[in-house]
Amino acid sequence: MNKIGSALFLLFSLFAFIVSGCGDDKVDKGQGGGDADNYDVAKDIPRDMSIQEYNIQERKKLTTVRFPCDTIALMEYVLKNYPDGTYLVDFDRTFTYNIPKSAVIYQKTNDGQFVFGLIAKSWSNDHRLIEMKNIVGYDASFIDLDSTDLGTAFFYLTLFKCNENTFDTLWEAGIPSHGGFNNLTLEKWAKKNIQYIKADFHYGQGIGHFDYNFFFVDGMLKPPHLLLTYEGINFKRIMTDANGDKYPDYIEFKYLDTGDKITILDSVTFIWKDTCYFNTRNPKQFRYY
């Protein structure tokens, strides 16, 4: 072998040794060890809990007024009493807050002090904890397109009763959405003088929003009745009172979208009967909420 051939052989051998050595050092840190580039806190439960505890302590430093069963106390209660990967959800940061604003509504009655809180739970089958940035806000409304790569969140509107400085859970009502939360407000249905909680979610795929309306048809202390309303570029459902009972009904609009023009073709009313909303024109068609 001549000198040039020998040099090329040595150079190739050195390159192969370096490549193989780099491959051997690559370790997945999904469970808390190894290379930092592969580290994923959403798979590290102890790390996630320490971050939550740190955030709570930071809120305590920034909060000037505390009271029994306040938001910080509720965050601590959720952290200690709910499964791993469960969080008290924050509002979408449409505006910049010095302290993140949690999705809670306080109600004081003759029966005591109550707190409505929006809770998000991680789906245990994912083996991955959800992250607030992936379930709150406009961009998070596209999470269904990511399958379970970012974790799967299950939202629950939950009513807590303040018991000294701890909480009793009275009920929780599921919200059929996995991401895109915007805000939580207390509303009143003027026609029946019934209060309800509206959980508003962004819907980026349709350039619109979904409103999950929880009506207290039998009072606040009993599980609420869910009615979904929504509006986007080519879909719309609005609340109505079609038959005079205590349950809200809705009108569904039908659109023709040609790509160049969007036109309302028709509308149909759905009425609540026992367990479902039924189409007044075609009783075989029904919806659960």
Is pLDDT of 200 > 70? yes
> What's residue 45's pLDDT?
77
- pLDDT, mean of residues 259-265: 92
203 assigned to some structural domain: no
> Range with the lowest mean pLDDT among 142-146, 158-162, 215-219, 258-262?
142-146
> What's residue 227's pLDDT?
98
- pLDDT, mean of residues 49-53: 82
- Partners of residue 239 on adjacent β-strands: 250
Q: How many domains does the chain have?
A: 1
Backbone angles phi, psi at 17, to 5 degrees: -65, -40
Percent of the chain clearing pLDDT 70 (strictly above)? 82
Is pLDDT of 133 > 80? yes
Q: Give the type of residue at 188.
A: K
- pLDDT, mean of residues 87-96: 82
Is pLDDT of 245 > 70? yes
Looking at per-residue confidence, does 134 or 44 come out higher?
134
Chain centroid offset of residue 168 CA: 22
> What's residue 15's pLDDT?
43
Is pLDDT of 39 > 90? no
242 assigned to some structural domain: no
46 assigned to some structural domain: yes
148 assigned to some structural domain: yes
Looking at per-residue confidence, does 192 or 147 come out higher?
192
237 assigned to some structural domain: no
- pLDDT band at residue 147 under the 50/70/90 scheme: low
Is pLDDT of 113 > 80? yes
> What's residue 17's pLDDT?
40
160 assigned to some structural domain: yes
> What's residue 189's pLDDT?
96
> What's residue 7's pLDDT?
43
Residue 258, token pair as written in the block? 């040609």
> What's residue 33's pLDDT?
42
Residue 48 CB partners (closer than 8 Å, separation 6+)? 41, 42, 84, 85, 129
Q: How far is CA 84 from CA 39, 52, 121, 235, 282, in A?
A: 19, 11, 8, 37, 45
214 assigned to some structural domain: no
Backbone angles phi, psi at 53, to 5 degrees: -65, -40
Question: Cα–Cα distance between 196 and 223 in angstroms, integer?
Answer: 11
* Owning domain of residue 85: 33-181
* Residues 130 and 151: beta-carbon distance below 8 Å: yes
Q: Give the type of residue at 260.
A: D
Q: How far is CA 247 from CA 116, 195, 211, 218, 278, in A?
A: 21, 12, 16, 10, 13
Tens digit of each residue's pLDDT (9 = 90 or more) over 155-188: 999 999 999 889 999 999 999 999 999 999 999 9
Tens digit of each residue's pLDDT (9 = 90 or more) over 8-19: 344 444 444 433
> What's residue 126's pLDDT?
66
270 assigned to some structural domain: no
